[in-house]
Structure 1
Amino acid sequence: MLFALAIGVVFLATGLAVDYSMGLLNKTRVNNALDAATIATARAIAAGDVDPSVSNEAENYLKAVFAANLGVDDVDASKYDVSDIVVDTASQEVSAKASVNQGLYLTQVKLDEDAIKVASSSGVSYGISEVEVAMVLDVTGSMKGSRLKSLKKAAQDAVETLLAVNTPTDTKVRISIVPYAIGVNVGADLADYVYADSFKAKSDAPVYDASQYSASNKAYYDVEDFQDGYSTCHNWDVAYKSGGYFYDGSADDCWPFVTESSDNSNSDYCASERKAPLSSGKTNYQYTDKNPSFGLISRDARLNEDWCPSSPVVLLSDSETTLDNAITGFRANGWTAGHIGLQWGWYTISHNWSDYFPAGSKPADHKDPDEDVSKYIIMMTDGVFNTAYSGINSYGFYSGYQSATAYDHFESLCSQIKSDGITIFSIGYGLSDGSTAEMELDDCATDDTALTQYFYDADTSTELAAAFEGIADTIQNLRLTH
């Protein structure tokens, strides 16, 4: 008798578990399909492909997308129901409800019902906010050949997708490009904010002072005015290069300089990372986006100019031609300092730097409630970070300690950038499963959600293209409001 009673309880519990699992599955399917339908409808309205003023056009479009995501031909003839579709042109929102009648199995014995309704709702704003995207892209030596070709195509396709919402009269999306290798080529626009630094682990950065510059003397400071202990150096001596280091000709290594041309103009626009201050009592801006008035950015003497990326940074732009041409010009060479690329990517979309950028490239303030702007960084690499300058003394530069130090810098920057309200996507290309490089990229990216992927692990050129396109689509997908 006890066994018979137990069998009944087990039978009922199993039925409840089955019905509950089916309910959860149906709710997830309906919710995902409805989110996709409202987002697609909102995007279509924003792009002008659907006219909400035409009777039932938006509603029919939403139902068609909903049906396609569930694999049914006609929602009205299926077990699914879509209701309460609202396209509010005043608030620029699309909302809808959807449900499915789920048949009950053993639970109907308990409830005396043969089905229950599983429902979901979704709402999306199609008044798309402004978007700023920094694409931080690996152009190191390991990217030579087919890898670089694949990167160029994938990045250009993503640029096209991201800029598709722009119109001749309304710019919603701007993109910056930051190619990196052993350092970053900041180009003429940013060269004034980089100072010739020594090959030391720490350094006291001078602050930006426009009076130190002239039209024929770009990117040079009189370092003797800013650095104590180097008074024996002869400033502006023509430097020569030896073993990847830059010296001013003195025997005591008092100050290394970037090679000068005859008119004292900078012969390269290389830059490295910010360093912790050398002198006690000075504020450390190493992992911040503070502008040059708080301190210039180091151009470490160990940064071999022969390996500096030939392609300069492109500040925020809505010109597909400008961005495409920049990507087309990529050349692969040098080692990997991914944290330097990430740092400069942050600067290109930081409102703190807006006064130091030319018109048209000034980042908006995403913390101002009156400026509806979202900011993203796409961080891509194909290998292990193996180069750092900050925190590495000259004797340790070739000692193998650089990778761990580079990742320490990377982790700190990732954390600060995300805490600043910026979303990070990361792409690993051809990385070994479980490798440090893969785990660091995954940790750096914003945490994945049930519906959104932020870290992509691409092994082939096809997967790389899919990663960039997936990120571009995600950024373009309008935020869910409820």
Structure 2
Amino acid sequence: MFDISYASIKRGYGEANPWTALLAASPSGSRAILPVKRRNLRHFKIFSPEPKCVEANVTVAQYKTSSRVGRTKIGKVRVEAAHAKSPMKFLRRLATSESGNVGLIAAASVIPLLALIGGGLDMSRSYMARTQLQAACDAGALAGRRAMGTTGTYGSAEKAKADAFFDANFDSQSLNASNVWFETEANDQGQVNGTASAVVPTVVMQMFGNEDFEIEITCMAELQLANADVMFVLDTTGSMAGSRITGLREAVKDFHKTINQAVTDPNTRIRYGFVPYSMTVNAKDLFSDPDAPMQRSWFVDSAPYQSRQAQFNTPVYIATTGAPSTVNETYSTTLSSSNCNAYANNNYPSSGSNPSSSGNAPGNVTQRTYAFVSWTGGTATRKNCTRSVTTRVTTHQTKFAFTNWRYKEVELDTSNFKNGTGVNVGTSVVTATANSVINPAVTTYADQAGYYDMVTMAKRNGSGLYNVGLTSTTWNGCIEERDTDDTANWNPIPSSAYDLNLDYVPDSNETRWRPMWNQLTYNRSFRQHVDSTTNEPLAYSACPSPMKPFTEVELSSDPNDVPAWLNTYVNNLVPTGNTYHDIGMIWGGRLSSSNGPFQANVNKDDKPVSRHLLFMSDGQMEPYIWGYNAYSIESLANRVAPFNSDTTAVKNRHNSRFAAACEAVKAKGITVWVIAFGTTLSNEMKACSSDGRAYYASDTAALRNQFKFIASQVANLRLGA
């Protein structure tokens, strides 16, 4: 750059715009470059054939009017002129110049400039290294906490996963870092804490004695959970007996412990609901729920059951004997003593009986009883003989004794049974021979011939029916489903399938549920009816533990604390019966639906909440078509599949219904998690889950770990402060 002399621009140049004045002061053909601010000056470069420099005071107002220069403080404008075609000449002149001692000044400036620039460069490297180390530490802590959620412990395997993620995210080679160190540990609050450090060499500052800088950071990963509702739909069939049900109980408790660790906000609300299922579900405890009690009116007052009727059509008689009347009879001639005795016993003059009867039921029966009165007068060997005759007349009423049982579908009165009060039913009879006179205090009989169901037998016992053997029955809470459809196509769900309508509030017999009445439900070999004089066995049935609507759990500072009610509830789960996945999923969805019959419970306090359904089973769909389940006895009632459907056909129907129920639940925004425990993870189970959230647990330990893992997913992983 050339040596520059200065000259002032006079105000009298006649140019209103200072930029124009600068251009006018420069040689013809020069052009300006946009200014760069340095302290209080604005610098412009003007390229021209001859070096010139002009200087002028510039006001703020003048800067604002300039089309080339933006706003600035009051200052000066220095215009440096340089010959556009001779940059090397300028450099040679600068090197040989003696006017400013340029060499000395330049030499003195090198070291401070080098320190300034080098320090900035190394500080930038330090910042980059720290950022990368922090990111790697965070990644490792998150990976370790995620692994801990799967296994429930934090050991060498979990630490190895944390280390692997740290290594993958920290590029020590590009930074030339040494002494890289990373360590993680878990605490009692379920957090994984990490510490990382590294030594990174400097590039420029080594010249000034600063060879490297040490970086040390910390990180922490934990679970955090907002409001959540979790519905457990649990297979409690017979195959879950023994160690499996014990493992399930512990798995639910482990789930809660994981959730308990994840909650940091005391205002967070966590609720659990439960649907234990087997061949049906149990609604017993829903009636007492204070938030959304199940209404008794949601159950029918009468329903068809696969039961039996007693036929009373055997004629029998009840005898009524009138008051006795006695008269004396004297034989017409004198009799010897022996003949008189015979006459008194109705054996003279002809052989007879004493007492004697005439007539047959149902007509009147007359009985005469004879007795000696006197033998007097006459001679010593022959005297007058007198006897008494007592007559009793017995009348008969025709009644009807038990003939046989007729096993068939029977409409039964459930109006009292559904209320949970004890209801007597007729279960046994004392038989009698046809056309016999019965003991009315012992024999079971009816005033009118006909068929009597078991409820009516008890109701009319002592009034139209007599001596019926009674059994008291009380509803255990298990249900028969409301009306459904036996179609094979469940996409879409038919409108007539009220059982799969999760939201419909009952308002008719078709939409109401039926109380299961296992004490009077019988099997039979023919669909229409079977007559038998013997007591056939009751149909096989199973009633699981009661369902529980969403119930808030108390959270504790002790991560291993389990609320008393939760501990009691899961410990009382009882394995029994066959496997019907569809009924479990239907009721899990029904109790979780924000628009259904239980919406008051689901929407309590109107809180924002995430909802989850955890479905666990240890087996495939396993219907028993001769057993009594939520759809009656399927081989007889044919509510799910048509008449003559075999076990395979019925199973396929239930699998289709299960799939439809899963889709109905997911359509409500409920996240479905599925665990197959000790059994194959079937395609039906995989399809049921939300976005592949289906898992396999080979044994009890794996089941507990899967529950903890799902809990960790329900609670979101986050980095702590």
Interval containing the TM-score (normalised by the shorter chain) = 0.5 to 0.7
Determine the C-alpha separation between the residues in 2 that align with 1:414 and 1:323.
26
Distance 2:136 2:695 in 1: 24
* Aligned equivalent of 1:315: 549
Which of residues 345, 352, 367 is equivalent to 2:595? 352
- In the other structure, the counterpart of 1:160 is 257
Asked if 1:328 is matched to 2:562, the reply is no
* Equivalent position amino acid for 2:478 in 1: C
Pair 333,73 (structure 1): closer, same or farther in 2 beyond 3 Å: same
- Match of 1:198, SS? strand
User: Following TM superposition, by how much is the alpha carbon of 1:351 offset from its aligned partner in structure 2, in angstroms?
Assistant: 2.1
Contact 2:143 2:165 in 1 (8 A): no
Does structure 2 retain, via aligned residues, the 8 Å contact 1:198–1:255? no
Aligned length: 334
Q: Aligned-pair RMSD on alpha carbons?
A: 5.0
Matched AA of 2:484: A
Cα 1:70–1:38 change in 2 (3 A) is closer
Q: Call closer, same or farther: CA 1:167–1:410 in 2, change over 3 Å.
A: same
CA distance in 1 between counterparts of 2:232 and 2:655 reads 19
8 Å Cα contact 2:223-2:261 kept in structure 1: no
Aligned equivalent of 1:444, options 682, 685, 688: 688
Q: Are residue 394 (structure 1) and residue 394 (structure 2) matched?
A: no
Q: 1:141 aligns with which of 238, 246, 250?
A: 238
> Is the aligned partner of 1:471 residue 2:568?
no
Q: Deviations over 1:178-220 (max 9, x none)?
A: 11111111114246344464359xxxxxxxxxxx989x96169
Of 273, 279, 289 in structure 2, the residue corresponding to residue 182 of structure 1 is 279
Could you state the TM-score of these two structures normalised by the residue count of structure 1?
0.56
In the alignment, residue 251 of structure 2 is paired with which amino acid? A
1:383 to 594, 619, 627: 619
Q: Show CA shifts across 1:367-403 (max 9, x none).
A: xxx7421111111111122236549451669941432
- Look up the equivalent residue of 2:477 and give its one-letter code: Y
Sort the Cα spacing of 1:175 and 1:384 in 2 relative to 1 into closer, same or farther, 3 A.
Answer: same
CA–CA separation in structure 1 for the residues paired with 2:454 and 2:284? 23
Identity among equivalent positions (%) equals: 21
Distance change >3 Å, CA 456–CA 264, structure 1 → 2: same
Counterpart code for 2:622: N
The residue matched to 1:238 in structure 2 has which SS?
strand
Q: Partners in 2 of 1:157 and 1:251 — Cα distance?
A: 60
Closer, same or farther in 2 for the Cα pair 1:140/1:68, shift >3 Å? same
- 1:275 and 2:483 correspond: yes
Distance in 2, Cα, partners of 1:168 & 1:31: 28
State which of 301, 304, 323 in structure 2 corresponds to 1:198.
Answer: 304
Alpha-carbon distance in structure 1 between the residues aligned to 2:138 and 2:710: 19
Question: Kindly tell me: are residues 254 and 416 of structure 1, through their superposed partners in 2, closer, same or farther at Cα, counting changes over 3 Å?
Answer: farther
> Once the 2 structures are TM-superposed, how far is the Cα of residue 469 of structure 1 from its aligned partner?
1.1
Measure the CA separation in 2 of the matches of 1:251 and 1:69: 82
**1:297, distance to aligned residue in structure 2 (A):** 2.7
Q: 1:282 to 1:339 in 2, by over 3 A?
A: closer
Instruction: Give distance in 2, aligned partners of 1:343 and 1:314.
Output: 14
The structure with more radius of gyration: 2
- 1:12-54 deviation digits (Å, cap 9, x = unpaired): xxxxxxxxxxxxxxxxxx899759749979xxxxxxxxxxxxx
Corresponding position: 1:417 with 2:653: no
Deviation at 1:150, TM superposition (A): 1.2
Within 2, Cα distance between the matches of 1:277 and 1:255?
29
- Rounded to whole Å, the distance in 2 between the matches of 1:254 and 1:35 is 71
**Helix, strand or coil at the partner of 2:611:** strand
Residues in 2 aligned to 1:188 and 1:397: alpha-carbon distance in whole angstroms: 36
1:238 aligns with 2:455: no
Code of the aligned partner of 2:505: P
Greater relative contact order, per chain length (Cα 8 Å cut-off, separation 6+): 1
Write the deviation string for residues 83-104 of structure 1: whole angstroms up to 9, x where unpaired.
xxxxxxxxxxxxxxxxxxxxxx
| Conserved? CA contact 1:273–1:297, under 8 Å | yes
Give the direction of change, closer, same or farther, for the CA distance of 1:35–1:352 in structure 2 (3 Å limit): farther
Query: Which is richer in strand?
Result: 2
Structure 2 matches for 1:75-90, cutoff 5 A? Answer: none
Alpha-carbon distance change, 380 to 79 in structure 1, aligned in 2, over 3 angstroms: farther
Match of 2:513 in 1: 297
Kept in 2: contact 1:290–1:352 (CA 8 A) = yes
